[in-house]
Structure 1
């Protein structure tokens, strides 16, 4: 488990700075699966909140 601060740093480097997963791994000294998990957690939570909003929509 990584700290929320490290997860936020990974997300910032990837999405804002456009660093590749391998570059982030080398710079931060973490495994590539750790980086991928931090990036996937962001996408999953966004998708879940979007789907929750869709369930409440009246068509």
Structure 2
């Protein structure tokens, strides 16, 4: 039997750290949510939230 999915909110920011979009993903756990968001690609900064809990802050790597 599979684990129930949680809805994680994704907040993406631009280079000036201003919120530019809010999305959501369904995942079974924090690790899966992080992997899904990393696979989606994002701007210079991205936060993943599970309700009121900040799961991760990701920063896009820039090519030199």
**TM-score clears 0.5:** no
Q: Whose strand fraction is larger, Structure 1's or Structure 2's?
A: 2
- Which of 1 and 2 has greater Rg? 1
Provide TM-score, normalisation by structure 2.
0.29
Higher relative contact order (Cα pairs below 8 Å, separated by 6+ residues): 2
Q: Whose helix fraction is larger, Structure 1's or Structure 2's?
A: 1
Provide TM-score, normalisation by structure 1.
0.31
